[in-house]
A and B are shown apart, each in its own frame.
Chain A
Amino acid sequence: MPKPPEQPTTSITCTINGQSVTMDIDPAWRLLDLLRDHLGLTGAKEGCGEGECGACTVRIDGLPANSCLVLAVQAHGRDIDTVESLDPESLDHLHGSGATQCGACTPGVVMTADWIRNNPETLEHDTIRSLMAGNLCRCTGYDGIIDGVRLSIERDANTGAKPCAS
């Protein structure tokens, strides 16, 4: 059960990980606060609070966004996907490529990586490295992450696997 806000003032209805959610919220909440503190979805992390590190990355209507920079009221009517919605199998290639060490950046990294993989048209004019630039990592030096994303895309191409609509 979500905790009731201290000053309930507005109601929002949105879809979170495919489920319709209606609740009263404090209009001062960020989407990150709503997810972590009131819905138990602690996958998104507050790494910086200023939209630089990407540890709070979610998808809003299919597009990656920093949940620390979104007011919860602006989630009304939107489709929100968090890292909890990802199929663990879709992350297999990141295991073997050295894409994760301490794991602090990993929830955000996999959100962006999964989006790139499911939207290969983004690579017509950008590289994996530049599209991942909004996800900072202190441990891996990035190459392991980029290798893992590239391997998963190559695997899709080899097996003819269709990317999921996102």
Chain B
Amino acid sequence: MLAGDPALTPIAGGTDLLVHWPGNTDARTRDYLDLSRLRPSQSEIRWDDDAVTLGAMTTYWDVVTDKRFREHFPILIDAARQVGAVQIQTRGTWAGNICNASPVADGVPVLMALGASVELRSAAGAESIPLDRFYTGYRQTRRQPDQLVTSITIPRHQRTTQFFEKVGSRRAQAITKVGVAVTHHNETGWRVVANAMAPVIIRCANVETLLSSISPIRTPDDLLPAIDADMTPITDIRSTAPYRRTVFAQILFHALRQRNLRVSVDAR
């Protein structure tokens, strides 16, 4: 169907699309491809020895209630529980969050920090794209109009360090102002992913390099040069660039220190 009509927009849980629906004439007059009847088949979660595969219709709640994630990927549960509230978590899908491509998406940074990739399929065939190469610009992805995401694959690498910090106006039903997802793997090293900081969710390569180095980190300010090299924070209706810059450094520093990671022992 998508091959025949590139203007067709797939809809899964629809929790972002349906916001203020009655007044959204533009959205109501478009054509949609309803994916919801693909549950339960497309919401299966498969655990293999080397990877976990989330079917495209897997919701946040599917992950929250699957005990295996608590043991192996608690960062996913951390993020899922901070999306909206229960009523949103039972409907919103990880794949929908990826494809919606909002800069404040909460599912995307934790998947990116776990080295996840998305599988896409069209009439022409299938391909797999690492999530940290999936975004090409503000709300732009490498999904072609005739492709659907069919699954998300997460490698089962032992990442003993994994955390997600979200700053918002409230503990629930809040859109992220500053967010960071961090993982560490003994062989592949650090992944630091920022959301709500820039028009695109990005890995912070310079911060990752700093964390891999032996340069002392004694205060949040010691993170700022790397942060500045990685991004120019935005000012928007939710927050300002200076706030984002300062708070990002603070939450990253304190999250590392709490876990006795990387921050110098004599930090004040």
Partner-B contacts on A (CB < 8 A): 28, 30, 33, 49-52, 54, 57, 60, 63-66, 68-71, 73-74, 76-77, 112, 125-126, 130-131, 133-136
Contacts and interface: CB of A to CB of B under 8 A. Distances in A.
Contact of B90 (A63, A71, A73, A126): A63
Contacts of B172: 130, 133-134
A63 B14 contact: no
Interface of B: 11, 13-15, 18-23, 28, 34, 36-37, 61, 70, 81, 84-88, 90-91, 171-173
Contacts of A125: 70
A100 to B, nearest CB: 19
Contact of A134 (B20, B23, B28, B88): B88
A112 B90 CA distance: 12
Nearest to B19: A50
A30 B20 CA distance: 11
B18 A131 contact: no
Contacts of A28: 28
Contact of A133 (B13, B36, B37, B171): B171
Contacts of A70: 14, 18, 91
B163 to A, nearest CB: 17
B21 A131 contact: no
A133 B85 contact: yes
Given A49-B19, A51-B19, A76-B37, A57 B87 contact: yes
B162 to A, nearest CB: 17
A69 B81 contact: no
The 5 closest A-B pairs by CB, nearest first: A134-B85, A133-B172, A63-B90, A69-B18, A74-B36
B95 to A, nearest CB: 16
15 contacts: A30-B18, A33-B22, A50-B19, A52-B173, A63-B90, A65-B87, A66-B87, A68-B21, A69-B21, A69-B88, A69-B91, A71-B18, A71-B34, A133-B86, A134-B88
